[in-house]
Amino acid sequence: MLRFFVLALLLMNGAYFAWSRGLFQSYGFAPAQQTEPQRLAQQIKPEALQVRPVPEQRLAKSSAAPPKPGSCWQAGLFDEAQATLLREALVAAALPAASWSLERVATPGRWMVYMGKFANAEALAKKGAELVALKLKFEVLSDPALRPGLSLGGFETQAAAQAALAAVVERGVRTARVLPERAAGQGVLLRLPAVDETLRPRLEALKPVLADKALTPCP
């Protein structure tokens, strides 16, 4: 029995070898031909294929997506002393003259809903816990003239601040009041009308004189 299986296996291997070599082609048994003429016949519009050198390919890719023009960014507002330091830094950085400007603008007043001053940090923490229970947002103030104190929000107009005060009074707050947070005045705005990839790295040198005022997109 074992000899029969060995003999059958040899016969099957021999038949496969003869079939793969095309020895049975005259009888209609042969594998599919994969030589070059048959593959060329299967191509679709071979004349449309173009082989270009690498530099030309890179040029075509870059020309298809032109770089975007520089975008406008600004930072501020700065007081006179800050603006002086900033101007000196801009000149020292040798930025193109048309790439920046320092513009004097009016600064509107700002108002806040204020609570304080509290007797001590313990009283401040107790009042904060009460506001949390009322689900009211607040900010612990760091201004020496107002601490220990809390702000329940800042507003562009006194009328808006008074409306916010009335709303928190309805929620149960009794000791808040409206105070001027910032008086109206003037400041200096840094404007960069066209920040591109060439200019952007050079702006890193300005960070120490930006007075923690981040560059933001122009409105």
- 10 Å Cβ neighbour count for 138? 20
Give the residue among 218, 211, 212, 214 at the shortest CA–CA distance from 192.
Answer: 218
Question: Residues 79-105: what's their mean pLDDT?
Answer: 85
Residue 89 and residue 191 share a domain: yes
Residue 46 lies in a domain: no
DSSP 40-69: HHT-S-GGG-----HHHHHHHHHHHSPPPP
Per-residue pLDDT band for 28 (boundaries 50, 70, 90) equals: low
Query: What per-residue confidence (pLDDT) applies to 131?
Result: 95
Q: Does residue 165 carry a pLDDT above 60?
A: yes
Quote the CA–CA distance of 39 and 20 in Å, as a whole number. 19
Question: Residues 84-90: what's their mean pLDDT?
Answer: 87
Summarised one tens digit per residue, pLDDT across range 99-141 is: 888 888 887 889 999 999 999 999 999 999 999 999 999 999 9
Per-residue pLDDT band for 16 (boundaries 50, 70, 90) equals: low
Q: CATH no. for residue 147?
A: 3.30.70
Tell me the residue range of the domain where 82 lies: 71-107+185-217
Q: Does residue 199 carry a pLDDT above 90?
A: no
Residue 62 lies in a domain: no
Q: Does residue 92 carry a pLDDT above 90?
A: no
Residue 47 lies in a domain: no
Residue 87 lies in a domain: yes
Between 198 and 190, residue with greater pLDDT: 190
Q: CATH no. for residue 204?
A: 3.30.70.120
Mean pLDDT of the chain: 77
Total structural domains in the chain?
A: 2
Quote the CA–CA distance of 211 and 121 in Å, as a whole number. 29
Query: What per-residue confidence (pLDDT) applies to 23?
Result: 61
Residue 141 and residue 81 share a domain: no
Query: What per-residue confidence (pLDDT) applies to 146?
Result: 92
Residue 123 and residue 89 share a domain: no
How would you label 23-62 residue by residue, b for 16+ Cβ within 10 Å and e otherwise? eeeeeeeeeeeeeeeeeeeeeeeeeeeeeeeeeeeeeeee
The CA-based angle 16-22-26, given to 5 degrees, is 115
Residue 145 and residue 91 share a domain: no
Query: What per-residue confidence (pLDDT) applies to 106?
Result: 84
Quote the CA–CA distance of 34 and 202 in Å, as a whole number. 61
Between 65 and 134, residue with greater pLDDT: 134
Question: Residues 37-64: what's their mean pLDDT?
Answer: 46
Residue 103 and residue 194 share a domain: yes
Between 20 and 56, residue with greater pLDDT: 20
Residue 170 and residue 121 share a domain: yes
